[in-house]
Chain A
């Protein structure tokens, strides 16, 4: 499938943030914005919904905690009880460091895998590279065009008015 984009290149993140607000206020839908580094406040400016990843993280954490407690209580309490330092078999304070580590382990691995899966970065990236300079020093705003590209002149003007240093038209073929 081929998509056509009007691509505005910006030099500065503040100009970009203002441009995003103005262009959205003008009723234009922005396809995506690419930046070399995370820009503070860009999610709100673009109106992107908050990620639900933290909720997943919480449940991964709970899973890790439950697993760690089960593992230690089962192993040291029932499967192979051992007396260590004269403590009871199930000595909760001694289990806390392991429980903590496994909670963190499950949370971070679960989050990373979830993130890669839902963003399409796994097994390999499916995100189109609209302009390679977005990985260097430019901020790139892509606005999707329809078949005829008839709104391109108007969008060029709008992007230029809002501080874009250049505006290109680009076709991307999505495999």
Chain B
């Protein structure tokens, strides 16, 4: 640390996405496709029943050997249902993480934070997935909504119809198709617009210099954060909570946000480490990693706090209409989700909590890397736990879900690195760049 005060200022660095990296991304996608096809075959031919524990007595599970495939009580065959729900699940996760890039940057602007300038381009590049994610979201919703959302079933809100469900009908003011679509499009439009806007301001700053872009970015960020606070919470109700149409939780918006947010920070930290190890971001030191590590540590605890607040109130009050959520996940469907339920707490709380507790751990790339990957995996499975029990009951598995997630990951990385390579990795004219270069903790 003897050179503490004598670092040179950072200069522009251009990322080159090597052929090897591109091959890796394609390999991830190909591997995903292979796993997906295996999963679909397994599900169609009925191997799934053996693989995922025979759901004894489950409706329709025994009917479906051979060409017909196992047919669920309503809607599509199980394999299609699983495919659609997986697409929705991975998309909600990746879209959320992608948006967190912009949120992270906006918070740093509004807080006049200087330390994070070196990783700013990473958070900008994360939002490259918002547009494709938005398209996938709308397409999956339009095609597969009957298999994902209970409230979209025919006649469920019409009195006299055999499908009529008075509780769901009571929510028709909010959960109806036009309003839902308008809301979804509004959230996505807000996120995409502000990501684009902040990126443009940042690129203009690179070209032209001056502090005018910085001040404009602060104004845009402040407005975005207000809108994001509302839209992230509401999107969590719409995209995730409304699959459990009867159930409700006032903590849910925060819960989903906490999951996205800590994953987003893990993604930023992981990218920074990979870039550093590939020889980029020369000015990035263990001090920056330390701060990212603190955020990951803190927000893992925050996620747990929100998770536990939701769990404990429901457990204590034990009202049937609320407790059903945890009944399904803890021991429900023949214990289908029980293991994952505890795994979720261990990987998202215990592991980051103990792993990142010491200062040294947060400053070491290898430990940070392991914890970042664990957090990303952990929160992907957290979304799995939020979405699967309501949509697939005891029929969810892992092959299709992991295959879809791998395809998303590969595609995400391609767009992400392409945007990362399209501008200097260092925002050279950011007024706080020097502060970030000299950052110490």
Q: Is the CB of A21 within 8 A of B2?
A: yes
Q: Is the CB of B4 within 8 A of A41?
A: yes
Also in contact, A18 and B5, with CB within 8 A (given A40-B440, A44-B440, A85-B318): yes
Does B1 count as interface, using CB distance less than 8 angstroms? Answer: yes
Does A58 count as interface, using CB distance less than 8 angstroms? Answer: yes
Does A167 count as interface, using CB distance less than 8 angstroms? Answer: no
Interchain CA distance A41-B287 in the complex, whole Å: 10
Does B312 count as interface, using CB distance less than 8 angstroms? Answer: yes
A80-103 CB mask vs B (1 if < 8 Å, else 0) is 000001110000011011000000
Q: Is the CB of B357 within 8 A of A44?
A: no
Interchain CA distance A93-B359 in the complex, whole Å: 30
Also in contact, A96 and B308, with CB within 8 A (given A44-B4, A58-B357): yes
In chain B, what residue has the closest Cβ to A41? B440
Does A17 count as interface, using CB distance less than 8 angstroms? Answer: yes
Does B18 count as interface, using CB distance less than 8 angstroms? Answer: no
Does A154 count as interface, using CB distance less than 8 angstroms? Answer: no
Tell me which residues from 1 to 51 in chain B have a Cβ below 8 Å from any Cβ of chain A.
Answer: 1-2, 4-6
Report chain B residues within 8 Å CB of A85: 316, 318
Name, among B312, B359, B440, the residue most crowded by chain A CB atoms within 10 Å (CB to CB): B440
Q: Is the CB of A54 within 8 A of B358?
A: yes
Does B274 count as interface, using CB distance less than 8 angstroms? Answer: no
**How many residues on chain B are close to A (CB under 8 Å)?**
16
Report chain A residues within 8 Å CB of B180: none
Report chain B residues within 8 Å CB of A25: 2
Does A171 count as interface, using CB distance less than 8 angstroms? Answer: no
Q: How far is the CB of B74 from chain A (nearest CB, A)?
A: 35
**How many residues on chain A are close to B (CB under 8 Å)?**
19
Tell me which residues from 38 to 63 in chain A have a Cβ below 8 Å from any Cβ of chain B.
Answer: 40-41, 44-45, 50, 54, 58
Report chain A residues within 8 Å CB of B359: 50, 54
Does B441 count as interface, using CB distance less than 8 angstroms? Answer: yes
Does A146 count as interface, using CB distance less than 8 angstroms? Answer: no
Q: Is the CB of A93 within 8 A of B315?
A: yes
| Residue from A14, A21, A58, A93 within 8 A of B312 (CB atoms) | A93
| Residue from B2, B358, B441 within 8 A of A40 (CB atoms) | B441
Report chain A residues within 8 Å CB of B441: 40
A9-40 CB mask vs B (1 if < 8 Å, else 0) is 00000100110010001000000000000001
Interchain CA distance A94-B312 in the complex, whole Å: 7
In chain B, what residue has the closest Cβ to A86? B318
Report chain B residues within 8 Å CB of A58: 357
Report chain A residues within 8 Å CB of B2: 21, 25
Report chain B residues within 8 Å CB of A40: 440-441
Report chain A residues within 8 Å CB of B357: 58
Q: Is the CB of B4 within 8 A of A45?
A: yes
Q: Is the CB of B316 within 8 A of A96?
A: no
Does B311 count as interface, using CB distance less than 8 angstroms? Answer: yes
In chain B, what residue has the closest Cβ to A25? B2
Q: Is the CB of A17 within 8 A of B316?
A: no
Also in contact, A94 and B4, with CB within 8 A (given A40-B441, A50-B359): no
| Residue from A18, A21, A94 within 8 A of B316 (CB atoms) | A94
In chain B, what residue has the closest Cβ to A14? B5
Q: Is the CB of B312 within 8 A of A96?
A: yes
| Residue from B5, B311, B358 within 8 A of A93 (CB atoms) | B311
Q: How far is the CB of A161 from chain B (nearest CB, A)?
A: 16
| Residue from B4, B308, B318, B358 within 8 A of A17 (CB atoms) | B4
Report chain B residues within 8 Å CB of A18: 5
B306-340 CB mask vs A (1 if < 8 Å, else 0) is 00100110011010000000000000000000000
List, sorted by A's number, 15 A–B pairs whose CB atoms are closer than 8 Å: A14-B5, A17-B4, A21-B2, A25-B2, A40-B440, A44-B440, A45-B1, A45-B4, A54-B358, A54-B359, A85-B318, A86-B318, A93-B311, A93-B316, A96-B308
A93-B308, A96-B312 given; 18 more Cβ-contact pairs under 8 Å: A17-B4, A17-B5, A18-B5, A21-B2, A21-B4, A21-B5, A25-B2, A41-B1, A44-B1, A44-B4, A44-B440, A85-B318, A86-B318, A93-B311, A93-B316, A94-B316, A96-B308, A97-B312
Interchain residue pairs A-B with the least CB separation, the first 6: A44-B1, A41-B440, A17-B5, A40-B440, A41-B4, A93-B315
